[in-house]
């Protein structure tokens, strides 16, 4: 039996675990609630929906961004959990390379996130069709960026899972890194007019900016766009291109994954 | 009769703590060997190295002539193992779990399905085969652990305290299964239960502080020290 065949087996059963766990459905629920809130609050707080379908599409990416962060919850225990929960005593005594196990776990987690993402974009497209009778072609670009962001976040979580003693620690460390550290770094770099394409959270922003620039969003939101200094602030930001953001995410995707495999392979189950 | 498990000068440090000190041991084919020793003697470390879970600081270990350190996957294909109290994925059922591990070992189709049914019946988990393992007691997990150990009909069984957590009936059933399997297989078996070891094994290896102190037939040890318990106490503690 080849390692490739074994990889297929690992993906199948790791994905089965995701399907059986409540967290998949909880994340999906949160993402859908976020999209519902956008659909309810925008017309409730302003004069109806924005004129531009792209602005509304950008606002609805909040669900996809949350779904992408679901990667953290799928991968937090991928490596650390085998050691913490001692399930590794059974799994690792099977004749399969550790690399095959980690790659299989990664792909199973990615498939789970991809399913969430497809569902949130489907809801987004339906909502846009109902409100505007059209769906911007940029939805594919946004979807691609969201998938790449999910892959990069998954790799980053794998890295924390490889170095962490416990699953919870890995999950919290990744969330702090993505939401707090990257968020602060991105804000500081953006407000000081410096490039920030290499910060992971810039990938999350690009899911929305795939539909248009920050200036276009602020202008499209009417009241918000006319707030003092908002336009000036938008022009001051050195908004990275989607290409640059993709390079940034590639660093996390490849670097995080390779480092996690290297570190996990050295780890022993005492 | 060839040696199925060969341990050569195995040394293992955990930081500065010496867990195994140049341990050498040979287990002949179809022999049932008990590995005895007090807590921290190095029993689990030895078994974990044989199962590829730990890497030794120095020394070598072979299963059926295959180097466990350089060819772990090939060596693991020959063994079935229970190390410590087995923990399973709580969201899977025993059938899912055995399917997963069976497929990883190249089993499939009707043959796998039939074998899963056989081992589940052997450990008396028929009523629970489709229930999620999260609901299982420690003893039930131990039974499932034995089922996965025997699933692929390996030629070598490596068992670390396999009856831990079982009720008295479970202990008896477990012992009978291992004795039955031991007629056709090589069994290397760590335990603190001297009575259990005496019923399953013909020979025992007694280790302490990572060193081999005695390796002999139980009858010989009983001749020398009157009982296996006396032999164990005197060899490990000088009582």
Confidence of residue A80 (pLDDT cuts 50, 70, 90): confident
DSSP-derived secondary structure for B114-141: HHHHHHHHHTT-GGGTTS-GGG--HHHH
Residue A152 in any domain: the answer is: yes
For residue B50, give the chain A residue with the closest CA: A93
CB-nearest partner of B87 from A5, A13, A86 = A86
ipTM: 0.89
Whether residue A270 is contained in a domain is answered as: no
Q: Does A1 touch chain B if contact means CB atoms closer than 8 Å?
A: yes
Q: Looking at CA atoms only, how far is residue B212 from chain A in angstroms?
A: 21
Best CA proximity match to B50, nearest among B199, B154, B183 = B154
Residue that wins the pLDDT comparison between A215 and A141? A141
A146 located within any domain = yes
> Angle at Cα A22 formed by Cα A18 and Cα A25, nearest 5°?
85
Query: Which of B83, B99, B132 is closest, CB to CB, to A93?
Result: B83
**CB-CB under 8 Å, A10 with B91:** no
Vertex B210, ends A265 and A91: CA angle to 5°?
30
Contacts of A227 (CB under 8 A, 6+ apart): none
Q: Cα–Cα distance between A170 and A191 in angstroms, integer?
A: 30
In a domain? residue A37: yes
Residue A223 has pLDDT above 60, yes or no: no
Measured distance CA(A111)–CA(A105) in Å, rounded:
10
pLDDT of A235 over the 70 cut: no
HEC sequence for A25-84: HHHHHHHHHHHHHHHHHHHHHCCCCCCCHHHHHHHHCHHHHHHHHHHHHHHCCCCHHHHH
Does residue A219 belong to any structural domain of this protein? yes
Average pLDDT of A130-144?
A: 93
- Domain residues for the domain of A196 are 3-265
Q: Is residue A99 part of a domain?
A: yes
Q: Is residue A92 part of a domain?
A: yes
- pLDDT (0 to 100) of residue B68: 94
pLDDT at A103 over 90: yes
Please give the pLDDT value at position A142. 93
Mean pLDDT on A119-134: 93
pLDDT number for residue A172:
92
Give the B window 111-170 contacts with A, CB below 8 Å.
Answer: 132, 145, 148
Per-residue pLDDT tens over the stretch A170-204: 999 999 998 899 999 998 998 888 888 999 988 88
Predicted confidence (pLDDT) at residue A232 exceeds the cutoff of 70? no
- Across the interface, whether the CB atoms of A89 and B86 are under 8 A apart is answered yes
> What angle in degrees, to the nearest 10, is found between the helix axes of A3-20 and B94-104?
160
What percentage of chain A exceeds 70 in pLDDT?
92
pLDDT(B6) > 80: yes
Look at residue B46 in the predicted model and tell me its pLDDT: 94
pLDDT by residue (tens digit) across B38-92? 888 899 999 999 999 999 999 999 999 999 999 999 999 999 999 888 889 999 9
Per-residue confidence (pLDDT) for residue A230, from 0 to 100? 57
User: Residue B196: what pLDDT?
Assistant: 84
Q: For residue A69, is it within any domain?
A: yes
Give the mean pLDDT of B206-233. 89
Nearest by CB to residue B76, choosing from A13, A93, A268, is A93
Chain A contacts in chain B segment 34-93 (CB below 8 A): 45, 48, 51-55, 73-74, 76-77, 79, 81, 83-89, 91-92
Q: How many domains does chain A have?
A: 1
């Amino acid at each position: 039996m080849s390692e490739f065949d074994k990889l297929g087996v690992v993906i199948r059963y790791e994905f089965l675990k995701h399907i059986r766990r409540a967290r998949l459905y909880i994340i999906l629920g949160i993402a859908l609630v976020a999209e519902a809130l956008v659909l309810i609050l925008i017309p409730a707080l302003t004069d109806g929906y924005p004129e531009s379908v792209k602005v509304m599409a950008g606002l609805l990416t909040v669900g996809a961004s949350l779904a992408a962060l679901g990667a953290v919850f799928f991968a937090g225990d991928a490596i650390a959990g085998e050691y913490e929960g001692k399930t590794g005593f059974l799994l690792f005594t099977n004749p399969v390379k550790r690399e095959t196990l980690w790659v299989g776990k990664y792909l199973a987690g990615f498939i789970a996130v991809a399913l969430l993402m497809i569902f949130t974009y489907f809801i987004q497209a339906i909502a846009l069709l109902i409100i505007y009778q059209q769906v911007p072609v940029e939805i594919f670009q946004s979807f691609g960026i969201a998938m790449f962001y999910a892959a990069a976040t998954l790799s980053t979580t794998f890295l924390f899972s490889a170095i962490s003693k416990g699953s919870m620690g890995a999950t919290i460390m990744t969330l702090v890194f993505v939401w707090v550290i990257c968020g602060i770094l991105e804000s500081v770099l953006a407000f000081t007019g410096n490039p920030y394409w290499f910060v992971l959270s810039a990938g999350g922003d690009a899911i929305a900016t795939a539909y248009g620039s920050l200036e276009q969003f602020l202008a499209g939101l009417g009241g918000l766009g006319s707030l003092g200094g908002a336009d000036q602030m938008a022009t001051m930001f050195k908004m990275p291109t989607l290409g640059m953001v993709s390079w940034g995410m590639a660093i996390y995707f490849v670097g995080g994954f390779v480092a996690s495999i290297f570190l996990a392979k050295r780890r022993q189950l005492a | 009769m060839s040696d199925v498990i060969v341990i050569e000068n195995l040394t293992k440090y955990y930081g500065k703590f010496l867990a195994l000190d140049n341990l050498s041991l040979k287990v002949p084919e179809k022999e049932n060997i008990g590995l005895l020793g007090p807590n921290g003697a190095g029993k689990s470390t030895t078994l974990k190295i044989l199962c590829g879970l730990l890497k030794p600081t120095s020394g070598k270990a072979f299963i059926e002539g295959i180097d466990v350190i350089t060819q772990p996957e090939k060596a693991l294909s020959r063994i079935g193992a229970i190390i410590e109290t087995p923990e399973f994925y709580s969201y899977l059922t025993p059938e899912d779990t055995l399917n997963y591990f069976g497929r990883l070992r190249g089993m499939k189709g009707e043959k796998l399905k039939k074998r899963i049914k056989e081992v589940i019946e052997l450990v008396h988990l028929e009523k629970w085969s489709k229930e999620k393992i999260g609901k299982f007691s420690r003893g039930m997990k131990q039974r499932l652990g034995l089922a996965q150990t025997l699933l692929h009909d390996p030629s070598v069984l490596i068992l670390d305290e396999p009856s831990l957590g079982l009720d008295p009936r479970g202990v008896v059933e477990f012992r009978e299964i291992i004795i039955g399997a031991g007629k056709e297989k090589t069994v290397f078996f760590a335990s603190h239960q001297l009575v259990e070891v005496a019923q399953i094994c013909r020979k025992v290896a007694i280790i302490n502080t990572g060193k081999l102190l005695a390796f002999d037939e139980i009858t010989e040890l009983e001749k020398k020290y009157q009982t296996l318990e006396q032999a164990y106490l005197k060899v490990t503690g000088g009582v």
